[in-house]
A and B are shown apart, each in its own frame.
Chain A
Amino acid sequence: MISPAAFFSRHVQAMLSAFGRLIRQPLGTLLTVFVIAIALALPTTLWLVVKNAQIAAGDVTDSIELSVFFRTEVPIEKAEQLAATARQRTGVGEVILISADDALKEFRDYSGFGAALEALRGNPLPHVITVKLAAEAANPRGVESLRRYLAAWPEVESVRFDGAWVRRLAAVLDFLNDVFVVFSIVLGVGVLAVVGNAIRLEIRGRRAEIEVTKLVGGTNAFVRRSFLYEGLVFGLLGGTAAVGIVSFAVAGLSDPVSRLAALYGGRFALTGVEPIEALIVTGGGAVLGLFGAWLGAARLIARIEARD
């Protein structure tokens, strides 16, 4: 039974040996790492697009508002009570009651029909409440749920909301999210293939060394170990380079995007790769590299035996 210290030192040795080999072949290593970096940078970029689009959409959805028109016979006390009820509901951000009198006054002041309105016998306008959604509910499902809830009140004449653009925006974000998932899977498989192929070439180039190692009693696991570390290092370096590439691109695009947002009267700053996301990309690269090396090495090494 191998001691923990010996086990640890063997792994350190296999890792150093893998590093040494990669350093001795700088061009091959760089090319492989570059391909992995590009393959990981593409889904990372797409993820940032989705994330930034969601942030930008979040600013827009702050203005999602439903107008609830009560029946004209509903008294102001009842309207106030219903407004208070609406405020208690989950997903509701802000509720403002506009009484029929206030609405009429406002209409009189701004419409220019003041004299004509004097001719009316009473106030034809209903009490209205405007309901803004809380940020977490500002999505098509939340809007529709709240609209149905309010429309079900017997005191309500109608609920108005122009929701088509919210649904379109949500559909675009969902689509981008799906594209991100598909890209991640396809390019993840690509990383497996790249690392697996690089490791297989390395194994074929070191066939004689593997044969000798096995002849002196080396197990498949012993031989495989350094190749697995090689794949791990490829993935780690590729992941790190991908984070670097994407961060560099975000830094380059940040000012133009802010200027574009300013032209439309808004303020928007691109969000780059967060530390946790950098960790996920680098760690994901390492796992893909390790798995790719396993796929490339396991069966090939088991088949190598000195025969001649």
Chain B
Amino acid sequence: MIRLDHVFKQYPNDREALYDVSFAVNAGEFVFLTGRSGAGKSSILKLLTLIELPTRGTVTVNGQKTNELPSRAIPAFRRRLGVVFQDHQLLMNRPVYDNIALPLMVSDTRFRDIDKRVRAALDQVDLLGKEHVSPAELSIGEQQRVGIARAVVARPTVLIADEPTGNLDHGLAREVMNLFRRFQDVGVTVLIATHDMALVREFAQREILIDEGRVFSAMPPDPGSGADPSLGTRVAG
């Protein structure tokens, strides 16, 4: 589902963000990508969402190697991912409904279906009735839930979240994590970048620790999943 093989990433300012990173996340898995700020978690998410390409190595998502995708195939690739951003990235000049409908609009879904699916997504994040409200009028927690609803409305196979609980108190953070768990329950692969170790311990899912651009430690994937265990057990020396 997600696989990084010997990935290096160097930015134009010569900063080496990732160094020989390899790991895999199986279909339907719930994995935490942990590490302190600047460790390389965001760089990995940028590679997964094709905001950036690796300098070396291969990134494979949903069976597609990102560096082999032509530019015109990138939008379709992204439509199969759900992404939750730390700063929500909501359109503040549009109502909640429009924000959530955006991934469906860009995928040419019929209006009738858009309405149904937006309401279903709102229901999942417990925001039904707030569809016509501007995101600016919502609390931070509610804004994050709008971001999650937008990420899942197009029924992606992979859900990626960058510090989704960064701005939330512990109670709200738990609520958001429970939401992600519910998506995993219906078969969505979930990869969450976070440095909230209390939550990681509480939810006890597989963890990939990144430090200074390297995979520092990782629990192996579920043995029953069929994944190459070596991709999850690499320890930087």
Interface residues of A (CB under 8 A from B): 2-3, 5-7, 9-10, 13, 208-209, 211-219, 222, 305-307
Contact = CB atoms under 8 A, between A and B. Distances in A.
B132 to A, nearest CB: 15
B89 A215 contact: yes
A164 B214 CA distance: 92
A209 B98 CA distance: 12
Contact of A217 (B51, B52, B103, B111): B103
27 contacts: A2-B108, A3-B110, A6-B108, A6-B109, A6-B110, A9-B110, A9-B111, A10-B108, A211-B89, A213-B102, A214-B75, A215-B51, A215-B83, A215-B89, A216-B78, A216-B79, A216-B150, A216-B154, A217-B78, A217-B106, A217-B107, A217-B154, A218-B75, A219-B75, A305-B51, A306-B51, A307-B52
Given A212-B91, A305-B51, A218 B106 contact: yes
Contacts of B111: 9
Contact of A212 (B76, B102, B109): B102
A222 B76 CA distance: 12
B34 interface: no
A213 B106 contact: yes
Cβ-closest 3 pairs across A and B: A217-B79, A218-B106, A217-B78
Contacts of B144: none
Given A209-B91, A306-B51, A307-B51, A215 B78 contact: yes
Interface of B: 49, 51-52, 72, 75-79, 83, 89-91, 93, 102-103, 105-111, 150, 154
Name the residue in B51, B75, B91, B150 with the highest tally of chain A Cβ atoms < 10 Å from its Cβ: B75
Contact of B83 (A2, A216, A218, A219): A216
Nearest to B83: A215
A307 B13 CA distance: 14
Nearest to B102: A216
Contacts of B51: 215, 305-307
Nearest to A3: B110
Contacts of B79: 216-217
A155 to B, nearest CB: 80
A60 B104 CA distance: 68
Nearest to B72: A219
A212 to B, nearest CB: 5
A217 B153 CA distance: 13
B96 to A, nearest CB: 14
A219 B154 CA distance: 16
A5 B109 CA distance: 11
A154 to B, nearest CB: 79
Contact of B76 (A3, A6, A209, A217): A217
Nearest to A24: B93
A32 to B, nearest CB: 20
A219 to B, nearest CB: 4
Given A212-B91, A212-B102, A215-B89, A5 B110 contact: yes
B106 A216 contact: yes
A10 B91 CA distance: 19
Contacts of A213: 102, 106
Contacts of B102: 212-213, 216, 218
Nearest to A21: B93
A171 B76 CA distance: 62
A300 to B, nearest CB: 16
Contacts of A208: 89, 91
A220 to B, nearest CB: 8
A144 B14 CA distance: 80
Contacts of B108: 2, 6-7, 10
Given A209-B91, A222-B106, A305-B51, 6 more contacts: A9-B111, A212-B89, A212-B90, A216-B154, A217-B79, A218-B75
Nearest to B113: A6
A78 B111 CA distance: 86
A305 B91 CA distance: 16
Contacts of A10: 105, 108
Contacts of A6: 108-110
Contacts of A9: 110-111
B125 to A, nearest CB: 16
B163 to A, nearest CB: 14
B115 to A, nearest CB: 12
A24 to B, nearest CB: 9
B75 A217 contact: yes
A215 B106 contact: no
A215 B45 CA distance: 12
Nearest to A9: B111
A115 B43 CA distance: 118
